[in-house]
Amino acid sequence: MTGVSARTTLGRLERPALRGVLVREVINFSSFWKSSAFSSTVEPTIYLLAFGFGFGSLVSTVAGYDYVEFVGTGTVATAVLFSSVFSAMFGSFVKYQFQRTYDAILAAPVDTEELVTAEALWIAARAGVFGCAPMLVAMVFGLDPSWGMLLVPLIGALTGFGWACFGIFIAARLNSIDHFSYVTSTVVTPMFLTAGTFFPLSGLPEWAQVLGQLNPLHHCVELVRHAAFGFEGWVDLYHVGVLLAFAFVMWRLAIRYMTRKLID
Partner 1 sequence: MASALSLRGVVKRYGPITAVDHLDLEVPDGTCVGLLGPNGAGKSTTMRLLTAQAIADEGEIRVLGHTLPADSKAARAEMGVVPQLDNLDTTLTVEQNLRVFTHLYRIPRAERHDAIERALEMARLGDRRDTRADKLSGGMRRRLLIARSLVHGPRLVLLDEPTVGLDPQVRQELWALIDALRAEGVSILMSTHYIEEAQRLADTVVIMAEGRAVASGRPAQLVREHVGLEAIEVYGPPARLAEAEAEARAAGYSTRRTGTSVSVLGTERSNGEAPDGERRPANLEDLFVLLTGEEAE
Q: Which phi-psi region, left, alpha or beta, contains residue 145 (left: φ > 0; alpha: ψ -120 to 50)? A: beta
DSSP 9: -
**Residue 10 found at the interface with partner 1 (CB under 8 A):** no
How near is the Cβ of 2 to partner 1 at its closest, in Å? Answer: 5
Which of 42, 104, 154, 210 is the binder for partner 1 (CB under 8 A)?
A: 104
Q: Which residues of 234-245 are buried (b: 16+ CB within 10 A; e: fewer)?
A: eebeebeebbee
Q: Distance between CA atoms of 181 and 232, rounded to whole angstroms? A: 37
Does residue number 105 form part of the binding site for partner 1 (CB under 8 A)? Answer: yes
Site string for partner 1, 41-80 (x = CB under 8 A): ----------------------------------------
| Rounded Cα gap, residues 118 and 38, in angstroms | 23
13 binding partner 1? (CB under 8 A): no
SS3 65: strand
Q: Based on CB atoms, which residue is closest to partner 1, 31 or 176?
A: 31
Count of other CB atoms within 10 angstroms of residue 27: 9
CB of 97 to partner 1, least distance (A): 12
Residue type present at position 68: V
For the CB of residue 52, give the shortest distance to partner 1 in the complex, in Å.
37
- Does residue 6 interact with partner 1 by CB under 8 A? yes
Given the rule CB under 8 A, which residues bind partner 1? 1-4, 6-7, 16-17, 19-21, 23-24, 27-28, 31-32, 99-101, 103-111, 262-264
